[in-house]
Chain A
Amino acid sequence: MRRYLFNRLWQSLVTLVLATIVVFAGVRALPGDPALALAGEDRDPESLRAIRQQYGLDQSWLVQFWQFVSHAARGDLGQSIRTGAPVRSMIASALPVTIELSVLAIFIASLVGIGTGVLAAVRRGGPAEWAANGLALLGLSVPHFWLGLMAILYLSVALGLFPASGFVPFFSNPVDNLHHLILPALILGTGLAAVIMRQTRSSMLDALSADYIRTAEAKGLPPKAVVGKHALRNSLIVVVTIVGLQLGALISGAVVTERIFALPGFGKLTVDAVFQRDYPVIQAVVLVTATAYIVINLLVDLLYSVIDPRIRVRGEA
């Protein structure tokens, strides 16, 4: 087990270093640089030179890379070239917004997805299944951007039910916070709800035709208990795995949702930083994302190895 752990940690470190190098080189390979993006239409060569000098952009990539890595190792992620704000505090304020948005989106998606999935499986062949399938198809095929715009037009502008933009931190006013986040979370959760619905439906169909369900029915259990206690509980294992796998898609969806609803989240921070070629922000964002991704992967793998000893054995071989 110790050797397996050592191997995994080693692999993680290599992944992190590679991710850092690829992104460091990747953003610099994009046409334009922070000085140009910062100057916009108002450029003169002298001040462009001064900006490049000030942020060390005139130095070799190797020097710039070393500076970034050595500072990052000490926990200093640098300053945003565009706004001058410390990158660490930018990330610290953006990350909770995206996490809250994603958790809320998963909650809403699970509620809707599992509910309609069970209904579609139990009422197989009926109008309920058709409706649920139709909704799932829509959820998967309609882009977030369009859906968000429609939601703003109808639910915010016409009915005035939700705010169209803005964010209130949870701890300053929880009710206002939820009021601002429900609509974005609903939009973000549509795709996930559709995936969960389809997965729940197919797992439930499998479960409902299984022997243990027949046994439960033969024992004289009421249909509610058969579906809820036996079939659904067994189907949920796969559904939970799927939710985990969809996390990546959820974060990329958050990029669009946060821009539409002007939420100060991680996705918006990343995309805006790319447009503005704000190298320190892009690098730091990627470093944090990669670290989170690797840590989660590592934990999941360790968990698997605990559950399934065969993995542990293979790792040690």
Chain B
Amino acid sequence: MTRRLLPSLNRFIPGSGLRVAGPIAAVVALALAGTACSPVQPAGNDNNSGGGGQTTAGQDVFGDPAKADQVKQGGTLTVALSADPDKLDPTLSRSLYSRYVFHTMCEKLYDLGSDAKVVPQLATALPTISSDGLSLTIPLKEGVKFADGGTFDSNAVKISLNRHLTLAGSARKSELGPITSIETPDPKTVVIKLSKPFAPLTAALADRAGMVLSPAAVAKLSANFSSAPVCVGPFKFASRVAQNSIKVVKDPLYYDADKVHLDAIEYRIITDSSIRSANLKSGDAQVADSLSTQDAPTLQKDSSVSVLQSQSLGYQGLTINIANGNGIGNPLKPLTTPIAKDPKVRQALALSIDRDALVKSIFNGLNTVACSPISPKSQFTSDAAQVCPPHDPAKAKQLLQEAGVSTPYKVTMITSNNPDSLRLAQALQAMVKEGGFDLVIKPIEYASLLDQQDRGDFELLQLGWSGRVDPDANIYNFVATTGSQNVSGYSSPEVDKLLTDARQSTDQAQRVKLYGDVVTKLQQDDPIIYMYRQRNLTGVSQKVQGIQVYPDGVIRTAFAGFTK
């Protein structure tokens, strides 16, 4: 921070014209100073991963449930969160971090087990799907109360789903697919009708789209639900200090209140990973999310802290701009650069990357190699989905020669300006040199990066996706011609057909086969070069029990307790 005598000095020049410029300069500098620092929501920190089929290092450590006789009742758990959640409204929320908070106060129709399989939460069983795939029947729990005392029933579910589908700015609408109507034959049954089969729906109901809001609170607060959210959950919303902390307190009306040990949970926003680690060590926080792979090894040696690890369902990769010349949402306009025109050049870049070395040297072996959008932990994985082209710089050079490109071939990559992303970019730069590429790195602040990405103003882009349970949510939007986030501008009728078939099939084996075929085609065309899967690293103090992290990346704190 500057310690120069600020422009306020001009107050000594009464009547001077400088008087106007001084305060403006000061306030503008204050407002804009932030753009030079690290982003609030860094690309690499959304979700981490590890373990699994191609893992080179440790295995998943999800944590264990608390043992009732070993924990005491009461106490406030402090969770250090790496970013501020956005609106605490399940319909409008988009940030991963809001899911950490929702998990304690907004239960869903379905949840995810540690094996990444969908299990009932407010429903009593998995949905019964009609043979034509156009109708889902969901049986609901009885005797459940909202935190405001209202009764949870099929009507409440209907109101919430309708809100997700119709509220302006809803982030859930696209997740729910082609729903035509929601019926409530009785208070404990909901029937969802679809115009086309939509296989990802059950998984969507295991995320925010499946959260049920109190009808009374919705009626009272309408679009301002986030100011005092009310759902069914072990905890209920208490207070929020914007950009600093969120507090939830135990809900005595919760149907399983006996299993809740803590009085309250405070989420404290601490964006720097070293400071989160320090808070964990000092005891000011008992849980810290998104630990850096640089800090994790030290914490693993600390006897007062344990590190939970779970492999992400998402990926980190390089997106190549093939035909996003007009910006996303506009007609495709193919670029004329060799890397955009010729798949051989993209294959050469993929062959130049030594994923194993990358994971070992940059991430202390904590992340895992990835060559496809389908995690080996997913129910939809197959041999075809896990094929990985070997590191082969000689072949890369040969491919470049065949493509008629003179080496070193210069490509410019934009990347987020956080330390982890920069380290990765520098390692890549050194690595692809051997394959005949001259990689130029352009670090950009996160929101600007998203802007450039959507406008198609890039050649190569390093960014990832935190991952969802159903593979459709990890592939379709990114590589289908009409995908909402097809920033590569990729268009392959073959891939489009495979993805649409997979989306509409209710036969799991068929979906597995179709996704395998998608991966094979994607590895030939390389619109995205998948590199590695992050590992969710969560630090937990030994003073608490029952903190768990599942593959969806959400830290489960609701049933934790302080050790006796």
Contacts and interface: CB of A to CB of B under 8 A. Distances in A.
B34 A50 contact: no
A166 B274 CA distance: 16
A121 interface: no
A228 interface: no
Contacts of B329: 45
A129 B164 CA distance: 69
A284 B107 CA distance: 36
B270 A249 contact: no
B15 A314 contact: yes
The A interface is mostly helix, strand or loop, or mixed, namely helix
A153 B227 contact: no
A178 interface: no
Interface stretch (A62-70, A210-218, A270-278): A270-278
A271 to B, nearest CB: 4
A140 B5 CA distance: 13
Interface-centre pick from B84, B226, B447 (highest chain A CB count, 10 A): B447
Contact of A286 (B14, B31, B89): B31
Interface string A39-83: 111111111001101100000000000000000000000001011
B168 A53 contact: yes
Interface string B172-183: 011000000000
B2 interface: yes
Given A165-B285, A256-B1, A274 B278 contact: no
A92 to B, nearest CB: 11
A19 B20 CA distance: 9
Interface in B78-120: 78, 80, 84, 86-89, 94-96
B245 A15 contact: no
A93 B244 CA distance: 11
Interface in B1-52: 1-9, 11, 14-15, 19-20, 23-24, 26-35, 37, 39-41, 43, 46
Interface in A265-287: 268-277, 282, 285-286
B344 interface: no
A192 to B, nearest CB: 8
Interface string A157-177: 100100111110000000000
A265 to B, nearest CB: 9
B3 A140 contact: yes
A164 B284 contact: yes
B281 interface: yes
Contacts of B40: 272, 275-276
A275 B465 CA distance: 20
Given A84-B227, A152-B278, A165-B270, A43 B6 contact: no
Given A248-B6, A293-B26, A82 B244 contact: no
Interface string B228-247: 00000000000011111100
A71 B518 CA distance: 53
B279 A164 contact: yes
A274 B450 CA distance: 15
B204 interface: no
A252 B33 contact: yes
Contacts of A182: none
Given A44-B484, A80-B242, A297-B11, 17 more contacts: A23-B27, A32-B447, A39-B171, A149-B278, A165-B268, A245-B5, A252-B1, A264-B242, A272-B84, A272-B243, A274-B35, A275-B41, A275-B445, A293-B27, A297-B8, A301-B11, A301-B14
15 contacts: A22-B24, A40-B94, A41-B464, A83-B84, A94-B242, A160-B283, A191-B1, A264-B245, A272-B34, A275-B35, A275-B41, A286-B28, A290-B27, A293-B26, A297-B8
Closest 9 CB pairs of A and B: A44-B484, A264-B244, A32-B447, A248-B6, A271-B34, A274-B34, A32-B451, A31-B448, A31-B451
